[in-house]
Amino acid sequence: MTHLRSVKNLKGLLFSLIAGSIGLFSCQETYQPKERGYPRFDLPKPSYVGYDQNHPYSFEVSDQAVVYKDSNRLAEEHWVNIKYPALAAEVQLTYKDIGGDMKMLNEYIEDSRTLINKHNIKAYGIEESKMRTAAGQTAYVFALTGQVPTQFQFYTTDSSRHFLRGALYFRTATANDSLAPAIRYISNDMLHLLNTLKWKDVR
């Protein structure tokens, strides 16, 4: 079931992201030896660099990640992927120019929510939160718990021209409860991306 609540600070959101699975993980980490095959993450202190290419947006991205253009045959011009090689993870960014068409904007929002709700079968929960970014933009973020293929998503728009959606994926068969530290780490990076996101005109 999707829950809507207002987020006043980003740390609270990150806590909610892993609330469904971190309890078990924390107990194992503190009091018991790691199970065989348990992933070990060496997560450096977050550090960011600017990303500003020939796209209608710019933002800051982790210096642990590589940004490259989406090469999928269905990808559009301003779709990019943010890859974390050390974590076998990727954030997919899809951009749409809505050109002031409110009907089109509503369709993109509905499509985004439909894609998220498809995970209801496997998700323990989907928590939706509304946040105001540092630039005064509104964004909606979705924290998914359970054995789902995507654990964190967002979409944001200026309601006139730009629409951007992001989704986190791990290219591994490791269970999501074991990935909790990495999920939290990259989710924090995605929130930083939103807080540094700027729209711009590209001819």
The stretch 136-145 carries a mean pLDDT of 91
The stretch 85-94 carries a mean pLDDT of 95
The stretch 34-42 carries a mean pLDDT of 55
Angle ∠(151,178,39) on CA atoms, nearest 5: 120
The stretch 53-74 carries a mean pLDDT of 96
Distance CA 142, CA 126 (A): 6
- pLDDT tops 60 at residue 67: yes
- Can you give the residue ranges of every domain in the chain? 2-33+60-199
- Whether pTM > 0.75 for this model: the answer is yes
Say whether domain 2-33+60-199 belongs to CATH 3.30.70. Answer: no
Number of C-beta neighbours around residue 122 at 10 A: 12
Instruction: Quote the DSSP letter at residue 19.
Output: T
Q: Which residue has the higher pLDDT, 198 or 146?
A: 198
Distance CA 34, CA 28 (A): 7
How much is the pLDDT for 17? 47
Banded model confidence at residue 162, pLDDT cuts 50, 70, 90: very high
- pLDDT tops 50 at residue 40: yes
How much is the pLDDT for 171? 84
Residue 200, both tokens? 């711009």
- pLDDT tops 80 at residue 98: yes
Angle ∠(153,60,13) on CA atoms, nearest 5: 40
pLDDT more than 70, % of the chain: 76
- pLDDT tops 50 at residue 72: yes
Banded model confidence at residue 44, pLDDT cuts 50, 70, 90: very high
* Helical (H) or strand (E) element with 31: helix 22-31
Q: 124 to each of 5, 88, 108, 109, 177, how far by Cα in Å?
A: 17, 23, 25, 23, 12
Banded model confidence at residue 12, pLDDT cuts 50, 70, 90: low
How much is the pLDDT for 125? 76
Strands 80-84 and 2-6: unpaired
Distance CA 130, CA 178 (A): 27
Distance CA 1, CA 120 (A): 7
